[in-house]
Amino acid sequence: MKYLKKIFESLDKDELRDFCEMNLAYLLDNPDFEIRIEDTDWKKPSRFVCVILCKTVNMGHGICSITNFEWGEVKDHVIPFITQLHKNYKFNTDGSDNGSVIEIRQRHESREFTYEKFMKVVDNDNYYYDDDEMQYIEIMLENK
């Protein structure tokens, strides 16, 4: 199990990127979607690492901008990906006031979920509709 982390071992970001790219391969075949692996703190090593799924559009002159995507475009890829990520990496449960680890940013609001609440929400077909627009999906992992 290449991706299982040992306790007290820092995240290997290259290994994490490989894991994300492997588990989101079909979605990332669309060159507009990308995975970003970012530290949450300016100090190194950062206490948390974020995995961010976003869609970009080329504005020309080498400038890319984040653009919206619909839940229906990603849900069949994101739900199993987050399940696998949860099995293989330690989600941060105390990085926010409410223990949320998954953030879904929409145009005018941001919703944060624990892993368990996220799984309940996505099982409810009336919570997110296929045409709901998202700006990004962010998952916070512990970096230890």
Distance CA 76, CA 25 (A): 12
CB-count burial class (<10 Å; 0-12, 13-18, 19+) for 54: buried
Percentage of the chain with pLDDT > 70?
81
Q: Which residue has the higher pLDDT, 50 or 2?
A: 50
Stronger pLDDT, 58 or 111, i.e. the higher one: 111
Q: How many helices (H) and strands (E) does the chain have?
A: 4, 8
Average pLDDT over all residues of the chain: 83
Only one residue has tokens 């890829």, namely 77
The predicted structure's pLDDT at residue 36: 93
User: Are 49 and 11 within 8 A, CB to CB?
Assistant: yes
pLDDT, one tens digit per residue, over 35-74 is 999 887 766 666 788 999 999 887 777 777 888 999 999 9
Yes or no: say if 96 and 106 are a contact pair by the CB < 8 Å rule.
no
Please, is 82 exposed, middle or buried when counting C-beta atoms within 10 Å of its C-beta (0-12, 13-18, 19+)?
buried
Kindly tell me if the per-residue pLDDT of 21 is higher than 60: yes
Q: Are 7 and 137 in contact (CB under 8 A)?
A: no
Q: What is the pLDDT of residues 85-97, one digit of tens each?
A: 999 887 766 555 5
This prediction has a pTM of 0.82
